[in-house]
Structure 1
Amino acid sequence: MLNETPADDCQAIEALVARFLQAFSQTPDAPVDLGILHSLCLPQALMVKCVGAERQVYDLASFIAPREALLNGGGISGFREYPLEGRTDVFGQIAQHLCSYEKSWLAGGQARQGRGVKTFQLVRMNDGWKISAMAWDDEREHLVCDVEGKLPLPVPVRFSKESGCVYNGRPDPTRR
């Protein structure tokens, strides 16, 4: 069970997540500079794209480079990404933040939008909270947040030493 989370920790983590997402937003007067992510993340942070059949795992540099090129290359404009709803759990010097998010942009003169869920793993360093890992998945058929962007209800999970994870009272079918 997680301890009570001090409000200032939750506020600091939510502000850090908001700065992370805002870093990708385009403005007409300046190019996108994702260099701010170096101050928000540990140098060894991992970013994992879970959209589609293949998982793509990035270190910080390989995550930043193609996104900066896309956002500054002229193919899309008006890109914005922002959190909708989130929850934060803190235990001592570690935390996790799960949030739904929305993104919108123009591509080829057409308005586009999408939503999904991101999970952030964080550690408290001497200079404050830092992201150690982030993973995301986007909405698609049969995998959606509700109309207001609320997070999907978690599947009840409990752990049993004998059988591993148990989902909804049934043993995990992937473990034999």
Structure 2
Amino acid sequence: MSGEQDKKRIHETIEQFYNIISGNKEEVRDWDKFRSLFLSDNSSLAPIKSNSEKKSFNVNSFISRQENFLRKNNFYEYGLSYKIEIFGEIAHVYSQYEAKKNKEDIELIKQGVTLVQMVKDNQAWKIHSMIWQS
């Protein structure tokens, strides 16, 4: 697989992450597909908030946290730009993102940066860990 093919697959994986967590509050998310994006259930997801406690979640605790929020709120998050660096079977992704209550809204809920570390597992790129800050 060429470097450009790897970058395309990495980009698609991050887009799938955003697409699964996005939708109307009535929509059921495909959490099995979400889990398949990660190297393991112990992959780390950590929101970084200024001047507050730093928490890290594994995949299942992140899902539990998100399910509660997503049942009550419309939420659409999407990547704006990506910088992907690959070395062998590891990759680092810098993704700027925005989130809105509805796709057509002008007003943002938040915007920020997500840093993603990925590992090539056979021919698939899997998320090893993520940190983000709004």
> Hey, which of these two has a bigger chunk of strand by percent?
1
Q: What amino acid maps onto 2:83 in structure 1?
A: R
Instruction: Structure 2: state its 5+ residue gaps.
Output: none
TM-score normalised by L of structure 2? 0.86
Q: Percent identity?
A: 27
Match among 38, 43, 48 for residue 50 of structure 1: 48
Deviation at 1:35, TM superposition (A): 2.9
- Identify which of 95, 98, 105 aligns with 1:99: 95
- Please say if residues 34 and 68 of structure 1, whose CA atoms lie closer than 8 Å, have aligned partners that are also in contact: no
Q: Show the counterpart of 2:81.
A: 85
Larger relative contact order (C-alpha < 8 A, sep ≥ 6)?
2
User: Displaced runs of 4+ in structure 1, greater than 6 A?
Assistant: none
Q: Contact conserved, 2:98 with 2:108, CA < 8 A, in 1?
A: no
State the Cα distance separating 1:28 from its structure 2 match: 6.8
Which position in structure 2 is the counterpart of 1:38?
35
CA distance in 1, matches of 2:12, 2:86: 15
Give 5+ residue unaligned stretches, structure 1.
Answer: 139-176
Count residues with an aligned counterpart: 127
The CA deviation at 1:29 is: 6.2
Q: 1:119 to 1:68 in 2, by over 3 A?
A: same
- Equivalent in 123, 126, 136 of residue 132 of structure 2: 136
Counterpart Cα distance in 2 of 1:112 and 1:71: 16
State the alpha-carbon separation in 2 of the partners of residues 28 and 54 from structure 1: 28
Out of 106, 109, 112, the residue aligned to residue 113 of structure 1 is: 109
- Bigger helix share: 2
**1:64 aligned partner, one-letter code:** I
- The TM-score, its normalising length taken from structure 1, stands at 0.67
Q: Distance in 2 between matches of 1:64 and 1:34?
A: 7
CA displacement at 1:65 relative to structure 2: 0.6
Equivalent-residue separation in structure 2 for 1:22 and 1:64 (angstroms): 14
